[in-house]
Amino acid sequence: MIVTRFAPSPTGRLHVGNIRTALHNFMWARANGGRFLLRIDDTDAERSEERFVDAIRSDLGWLGLTPDAEVRQSERFALYQARFDALVAAGRVYPAYETAQELDLKRKILLGRGLPPVYDRAALTLTDDQRTALEADGITPHWRFRLDHAAPITWDDLIRGPQRFDPVTMSDPVVRRADGSWLYMLPSAIDDVEMGVTHVVRGEDHVSNTALQLQMFDAMGAPPPAFAHEALLTGSEGKLSKRLGALGLDHFRAEGIEPQAIRALLARLGTSDPVEAIDDAALIATFDFARFGRAPARFDEAELAQLNAKILHTLPYEEVADRLPAGMDAAAWNAVRPNLSAVKDAADWWGVVEGPIAVLDLDADDRAYLADAAQVAATIDWATDPWHALTGALKATTGRKGKTLFLPLRRALTGLDHGPDMAALLPLIGRERALARLTLE
């Protein structure tokens, strides 16, 4: 069974890049009849906050990305310790005693010589007596994973294709701090093994991490998951944008963006497939990492807003009823939704229906015309199609047509020069309000 996971750290709110990663993990699992898991990476006790855990759950729920199960790394330390002890016993994890200042000096010397700042493995040359002496002096070691330099690290990435790294050019990664706390790399690999994760979907900035973790899977005697590293999002200006790191669901919700619009856009950013206002079933059916390219994916809020409007114009009343003003029924929703860019804007049009409205300036001819219109409106049948009955009669009696026929009526009845189809709007306004507005009361 296909198993994917979304593994955010609860040190802040999800941003649009996180949301895209979560969505793609969710869609890949659903497209293959698999499971989508949420893993809260809260090993950093100082920075992790419960309010962000709650926010992550809330955001995923609003987006419709409900996980099949949830785990928390802070509850799995015994598991990490067992794997850690086994790797130490096997010689794949070792203690290192350099201070941060000493490591920084080593890096600067190497860079000054034009060499890559790769850790020199000095800790591996220490004798037992030397380690004992260092610890007697109060120096507590941090722990590194020892890379195997015997062969290159290779894998076939689902998006980037064949990948190759030379472990000789890479530092043995620190997996545990001197205070005993865990860094990201090893617990993540352990969890992927224990949770049965088959596919890891994440940004291309993790490619080098994957190379390191592949050796961790091998050291644990576990088959690695497949990896898909996606191109990072860029802003509408065509370059990496810090703004994308600040755009979260609170922003989109405040703008009136529907979850379906976010799913529809982010599902296809980075592919050659058109971004369309289609339902989730169609999005999932066409979701395939083979469709993704390596070029940066451009996120444009204007495109999202346009897509949102298209989706909004097809939403049935039942999906929005709990967000509409009191008294606004399906007929009213169907009348105003073609003119909306967000559901919240429906309240403005409902205000036009119920009134009061501002009376626009009208010249003497239009005032006389509206007086005639009020007399006609009092005699037409309001049970069927009052707008066409009204305008048909006025066209015959006044000789007006086109803009001169329709615009004064719209202005008097709505206080605006534009808006929803008057044939749908006038029955909602109703006979009594319409007569009062046509007589400019």
pLDDT tens digits for 57-72? 999 999 999 999 999 9
Element (H, E) at 3: strand 3-6
Handedness of CA 289, 293, 296, 298 (dihedral sign): negative
Work out the mean pLDDT of the chain and round it to a whole number: 94
Tell me the pLDDT band of 309, cut-offs 50, 70 and 90: very high
pLDDT at 237: 67
pLDDT at 71: 97
Which of 310-334 are b and which e, b meaning 16 or more Cβ less than 10 Å from the residue's Cβ?
Answer: ebbeeeeeeebeeebeeebeeebbe
Tell me the pLDDT band of 321, cut-offs 50, 70 and 90: very high
Q: Could you tell me the two tokens for 274? A: 């058109």
Cα–Cα distance for residue pair 343/208, rounded to 1 Å: 44
User: Mean of the pLDDT values across residues 374-394?
Assistant: 95
User: Mean of the pLDDT values across residues 320-346?
Assistant: 95
In three-state form (DSSP H/G/I as H, E/B as E, the rest C), the secondary structure along 279-341 is CHHHHHHCCCHHHECCCCEECCHHHHHHHHHHHHCCCCHHHHHHHCCCCCCHHHHHHHHHHCC
pLDDT at 64: 96
Tell whether 242 is in a known binding site.
yes
pLDDT at 359: 79
Tell me the pLDDT band of 235, cut-offs 50, 70 and 90: confident
User: Mean of the pLDDT values across residues 243-253?
Assistant: 83
Q: Half-sphere exposure (CA, 13 Å, Cβ side) for 262?
A: 28
Question: Over pLDDT 70: what percentage of the chain?
Answer: 98
**pLDDT above 60: residue 240:** no
CA proximity to 308, closest of 331, 268, 275: 275
Strand pairing of 153-157 and 161-165? antiparallel
66, burial (CB in 10 Å: exposed 0-12, middle 13-18, buried 19+): exposed
Q: Which one-letter amino acid corresponds to residue 6?
A: F
pLDDT tens digits for 42-58? 998 889 999 999 999 99
Cα–Cα distance for residue pair 260/230, rounded to 1 Å: 21
Question: Over pLDDT 90: what percentage of the chain?
Answer: 92
Tell me the pLDDT band of 20, cut-offs 50, 70 and 90: very high
Of 433 and 279, more confident: 433
Tell me the pLDDT band of 244, cut-offs 50, 70 and 90: confident
**pLDDT above 70: residue 239:** no
Fold of 89-153+162-176: Glutamyl-tRNA Synthetase; domain 3 (3.90.800)
**pLDDT above 90: residue 297:** no
Handedness of CA 323, 328, 331, 333 (dihedral sign): negative
Taking a C-beta distance cutoff of 8 angstroms, is the pair 422, 406 a contact? yes
Q: Could you tell me the two tokens for 273? A: 């497939």
Tell me the pLDDT band of 241, cut-offs 50, 70 and 90: low
- Report phi then psi at 203, rounded to 5: -75, 160
